[in-house]
Structure 1
Amino acid sequence: MDTQQNTALMRALAEVPGPLPARGVIHIAIPHTERFTVVGNHLAQHTALSATALGVAVRIQSLPRGTEVGVKALASRFPEGEKLIAAALRELEAHGYLQRTVVRLPNGRIATRTVYCNHPEALLHPRAAPTPQLPPASRQPRTQAQQAQAPVPVPVPDPAPTALPDPAPTPLPVPGPLSAPLPVPEPPTQPATEPTARLVPPPTAPKAPPRPLPRPRELTPELRRTAAALLTDLRRHTHELTLTEDAVERLTPAMAAWLEREAHPDAIRHALTTDLPQPVNHPAQFVRHRLTALLPPPLPGAQETTPVRAALIIPMQNCDGCERGFRARTPGLCRACRTNHEQTAA
């Protein structure tokens, strides 16, 4: 069965003026009269936003005010899951299109207020109001015939002044039909304020390179054999850490670094198999991360653990006169016996 073609689209393509490009997109622009949304090229051609974020932004921009645009509400309308929708909303927040704040309602409940801006760059660089100008025909000098046919303006009395609630600015003089337009003062332009630095980097920020795998100072055949056996034996303790031969070969130097630092095999198994995420989608990458992030420091040597100065201990001695115990470096008399002996001798 032949593929059906859209004949209406082919007729519209035949009516496109000008030569058609040999490749690329060809636009058939039909003016909208109802149910349309104006989307700027700054959003439609954004180089940092994903396709999901662009679709979510256009969807939010086309909805009326007060429509729920939470993650669950948008996920019910799109085939993408809640994770992709939440990531798209975070992208829009990072680039200034969306702002979500938690507010307390008058009844005491907590709600999320979502503010969407269709052109956030215009908020940072406001444009000055254009100066109104008269059409070119009004600035040309009139001929005598045109002045004779022109109606004579009839003065109209000013209406009675009414009380205004707020003081109005001083009105400018109204120009006559032949006078030049008066310049309108432009509003003072404020310097564009730089956006505050984000404490949390956006999802599109470049990530730091991963840390290299630890390696031992010398990978001996015995150390390699023991490290490979420990990696292969992990599946006996948890089936979620079943590694392939290539993964064991890549991770053997990192395991050897642990063994070189005198880590006990039971301690290594406990560090690798405790608090596993559910599920473990990539066992090799998970083991690589823990071998790198939880690497213990080398054990200190005997000289590093020896105290700098040994404590001075004076031994106990028995007094030769009263047989009482006292501390002294050499045997002899205690203080009381020495005092009595000196007084007797004197």
Structure 2
Amino acid sequence: MDTQQNTALTRALAEVPGPLPTSGVIHIAIPHTDRFTIVGNHLAQHPDLSCTAVGIAVRIQSLPQGIEIGIKALAARCREGEKRIAAALRELEAFGYLQRVRDRLPSGRFITRTVFCNQPTALVRSGPTAPQQPAAPARRPAQAPVPMPAPTTAPATAPAGARTPPPGPDTSAPPVPPPPLIAAHPAPLFVPLVPPPTAPKPPPAPLSRPDEPTPELNRAATALLSDLRRHAPQLTLSETDIRHLVPGVAAWLERATHPDAVRRTLTTDLPHPLRHPAKLLKHRLTALLPPPLPGAHDLTAPARPRITVTPFQTCDDCDRAFRSPTPGHCRDCREHRSEATRTAA
């Protein structure tokens, strides 16, 4: 029996915009209408978080508020064990996705709140929010001004034994905003591994060229490029492409590379389909260029330095052994002889 085709999948693939890739994943994006959670790529493609930590983060983000997300509670919901869940929670806490904050209840008891932030970098950038100003009171109808008594120059003294009330709070100073809910170690900014499509691309490397081009190298390179279609029909090149690629092949041949090695490098593991054979050959000739062969003197081991050893000699007067290139007297005997010569003089 023939394999049955999924007609719904075939119709969905036909509606995918653009040409379908020949390899890799193909996304069929069907919009969600209920029971969905928005997850950012900074979490789904985080380069330093394990897949277990990313999955635990998605599970926590999909749960409603007030649900217990301790190690044992998550172990009861997931297939992972308590050790893997504990390690994943530590990873999320290290990068700022999960935070534990101590809070004081009106009764005076302290509790620990577990906070999950879906964008920790945005929380760090936002910083403390500006305090809200109290609402202005409603205007009252205009009334006649009430005469106020003139202040006296001397302050009134309190009677003996009376306590002076403490000064009230200074309302002129602006209120201090509460500290932001930020972890002790803020999460590092996420750096995507793949640059965006709009990022400027670096210029391609220039094609390799021989140091001393000769007619023999150009003739051999032209013959090698023209013969590639016998080994790989996809590499059928035009005369213009061959003239453009000849310097790159000549650089390989100048470095004593065998033509068979050059041919294997250019024809092995070709992509399917091959749309631009000349560009592929240029890339391989430039990126895989081998270094020049070392000379004979580069392959010889360096000569070890010779150590000159001064031989032992026997003193002619005291028969003491001493080091000297020539026989004679030791240092003490030489000093004694020089002193005796000075005394005799």
TM-score, normalized by the shorter chain, greater than 0.5: no
TM-score by length of 1: 0.44
Q: Give the structure-2-normalised TM-score.
A: 0.44
